[in-house]
Amino acid sequence: QLQLQESGPGLVKPSETLSLTCTVSGGSISSSSYYWGWIRQPPGKGLEWIGSIYYSGSTYYNPSLKSRVTISVDTSKNQFSLKLSSVTAADTAVYYCARHAVVINAFDYWGQGTLVTVSS
Amino acid sequence: QSVLTQPPSASGTPGQRVTISCSGSSSNIGSNTVNWYQQLPGTAPKLLIYSNNQRPSGVPDRFSGSKSGTSASLAISGLQSEDEADYYCAAWDDSLAWVFGGGTKLTVL
């Protein structure tokens, strides 16, 4: 059974860089059938797509966050990572990693999510 | 302000049929398929419907989806208490981004 697990600091200071990693188990991140994405949810609010990456390293980002986002992949560790720079309190959210299955064009597996709070 | 528009809340009694709407535009729902996600309290979203009206394995056939023009709907028949959750629609937008609705909180009375 595929599992995704987010990891990283739960507290980040304003103006610093948020860094998270998603570890994929029970399947290969190098499959040509999937993209891997990051989605966030501020407390009490809706979902916002941050960006996605293919195992080859090809990326696409939410235009509203593009200037601050970098997503990378490490196929040897079966992981992909998120960096969000110059964070503010508005970036406080639960961050989810998820698998995007190309054939159905949907995020079909999600991690449990990790809360990141931006505060000094 | 979400790109896709959903009613903030919906409700029904056990056994009833409820529908949740999702309104978009020609650049998202009008030209791409719609997915629906269910988020139970304190948990990650779960894929409920993909490609407008397809159910992943394990999703009861009480859940159904439809799309017409720039709008989509999720219908839940035979409402059960365990259906109480937040529901989100999503679609690819031709501006090269996934967009979501603001979510609808379903209450089973």
pLDDT tens-digit readout, A63-74: 999 999 999 999
Q: How many CB pairs under 8 A join A and B?
A: 61
Give A29 to chain B, closest Cα distance, Å: 20
pLDDT at A99 over 90: yes
pLDDT tens-digit readout, B43-102: 999 999 999 999 999 999 999 999 999 999 999 999 999 999 999 999 999 998 999 999
In degrees to the nearest 10, what's the CA dihedral of B62, B60, B10, A110? -160
pLDDT tens-digit readout, A1-10: 999 999 999 9
**CA–CA distances in Å: residue A33 to residues A58, A101, A105:** 14, 6, 10
Q: Cβ of B44 and A62 within 8 Å?
A: no
In degrees, rounded to 5, the angle at the alpha carbon of residue A84 between the alpha carbons of residues A5 and A91 is 90
pLDDT band for position B1 (cuts 50, 70, 90):
confident
pLDDT at B40 over 90: yes
Give A48 to chain B, closest Cα distance, Å: 7
